[in-house]
Structure 1
Amino acid sequence: MCHRLWKLSLAILLTVVGAWSSAGWATDRPNVVVILADDLGYGDLG
């Protein structure tokens, strides 16, 4: 039970810190999405 509580609190802490630190970058950087696909041909899209 102690390990489960430790992992849960660590996950919550990392989530909050990650969201807080990335909030300042939102206005400085453009949104970019990179999609990497293996074995995808031109005819497979659309």
Structure 2
Amino acid sequence: MARTDVVLLKLHENCSDGSERACRTLERLCDDGQDGACRYVPE
């Protein structure tokens, strides 16, 4: 697993645990074109 994927997975876990900051970071990365981040953004 690439380092980027590990970071995105950790952000996803934190977001799932209720961290608004982690959720916003994932959304921002996705909006900025970081394709890998889009799959971790909660629906």
Name the TM-score, length of structure 2 as normaliser.
0.38
Which structure is larger by alpha-carbon Rg, 1 or 2?
A: 1
Which structure is higher in helix share? Answer: 2
Higher RCO structure, 1 or 2 (CA under 8 Å, sep 6+):
2
TM-score normalised by the chain length of structure 1: 0.36
